[in-house]
Amino acid sequence: MVMENVVEKENEMAQEGFEPRILGFFCHWCCYAAADSAGVSRYQYPPNVRVIRVMCTGRIDTRFILEAFKCGADGVFTGG
Amino acid sequence: MIVAETARQFLADCGVNPERMTLEWASAAEAPRFVELITGYVSSIKEKGPLGEAEGEADAETLKRRLAAAVKAAQARKPRTVLGNLAKKLHKDGDYSKEAIAKGVSAKILPALRAERIKEEMLMLLEESPMSLDELCSALSCEKEEVEKPLAQLQKKGVVEEKDGKFALAKK
């Protein structure tokens, strides 16, 4: 799976000190836009979240979350 | 919210700290709030350490197997039907409080998911090597009764065979 390849690469890239790998599911209309405007207004925030944009938070299934942890994510952040 | 609660309870059941999964809201106009949420969440995960190293979590290898079984369980028909029925019931009662959802999930969805997960995990374990009932119980870290039922069903279907007190996958 593609996700597993990404995780492997990031393992190689991981340097000393623990940098968590967090998967973010962001709603296209709310949290994703908020993240976008945070970027535009140059707020600083940690770069640990990898984002998957969904058209609605209601699209997310229990399986997505379990799959993320199975692939080695340290956390899942769901933003509606 | 039902899905988030299900995921949280099921993760705890699998031996993952449920606080690793979070559901938050930030509208498109709330960039500062979003930054606050992300910063807080990332630092809380940093405190917990990598997956499998926080307090009360199972070791990495067990977790990997358990989560693989959990993914299969989440796909199974029965837990999904139960989830749909619970959503319908909550809608009918008009009660969407956190407590009502948590109660419904732990009473209905979690047992269905757990049973599926135990079955899938058992098959994974037996694929590696034959095991006795006690060995299965300790590897799955659950009670004897929980193991016996799915095991008997699998034997009936002819998927699993018993030999000298050990269980193994039936040869095709």
Structural domain of residue B80, as residue ranges?
2-16+58-129
Is the predicted ipTM greater than 0.95, yes or no?
A: no
- Count of structural domains, chain B: 1
Q: How far is B152 from chain A (nearest CA, A)?
A: 27
- Taking only the tens place, the pLDDT of each residue in B143-155 is 888 888 888 888 8
The answer to whether A55 contacts chain B (CB < 8 Å) is: no
Contacts of B7 in chain A (CB under 8 A): 62, 65-66, 76
Does residue B1 sit at the A interface (CB-CB below 8 Å)? no
Whether A61 sits inside 8 A of B3 (CB atoms) is yes
In a domain, B110, yes or no: yes
- Across the interface, whether the CB atoms of A62 and B10 are under 8 A apart is answered yes
DSSP for chain A, written as a single string = -HHHHHHHHHHHH--SS----EEEEEETTTHHHHHHHHHHTT----TTEEEEEES-GGG--HHHHHHHHHTT-SEEEEE-
Residue B83 lies in a domain: yes
Is residue B27 a part of any domain in this protein? no
Summarize pLDDT for B51-102 with one digit per residue, the tens.
Answer: 888 777 777 788 888 899 999 988 888 989 999 999 999 999 988 888 889 8
Closest among B141, B107, B106 to B121, alpha carbons compared? B141
In a domain, B168, yes or no: no
Phi, psi of B159 (to 5 degrees): -80, -35
CA separation, residue B83 to residues A55, B41, B67, B105, B119 (Å): 22, 28, 19, 8, 19
Residue B100 lies in a domain: yes
For residue B50, the chain A residue with the least C-alpha distance is A74
Assigned domain for B66 exists:
yes
